[in-house]
Amino acid sequence: MSNDFLIFILKISDIPFNLKDKFFEITFYSNESIDKIISYFPLSEKERLIIISISKQPTFSNFHSIFTDTITDDQWNKTKDQIKKRFQNELFDIDHKL
């Protein structure tokens, strides 16, 4: 019996842009499988299923979000630049205060 198995490596380019745009950070294990996905706002069930499907990690569930509010795609598209800029600026300010 062989213990060989296939590890699918998720490439950032495999993720649809409209979904990738919602991510703050993706971390990977040393074998390049996904460890954790942090989005700005909680991903919808459909978005999570897309990621699970693309990654070929059927048991993956380590989704996190910075904010807890649920927003629509329209709300996200209208405010994403402001949200990202404000969040990055606040992180930058924190680093300078330390």
Question: Could you report the per-residue pLDDT of 5-34, keeping only the tens digit for each?
Answer: 444 455 667 888 889 899 998 998 888 888
Given a cut of 60, is residue 4 above it in pLDDT? no
**Could you report the per-residue pLDDT of 39-88, keeping only the tens digit for each?**
999 999 999 999 999 888 899 999 999 999 999 999 999 999 998 888 77
Contact of 29 with 37, CB cutoff 8 Å: no
**pLDDT band per the 50, 70, 90 thresholds, residue 93:** low
- CA dist 94 and 43 (Å) reads 26
Residue 29: predicted pLDDT: 87
Structure tokens belonging to residue 30: 């040393």
Nearest Cα to Cα of residue 39 among 54, 57, 19: 19
DSSP 6-52: --PPPPGGGS-HHHHTTEEEEEE-TTS-EEEEEESSPPPHHHHHHHH
Strand partners, 63: 37
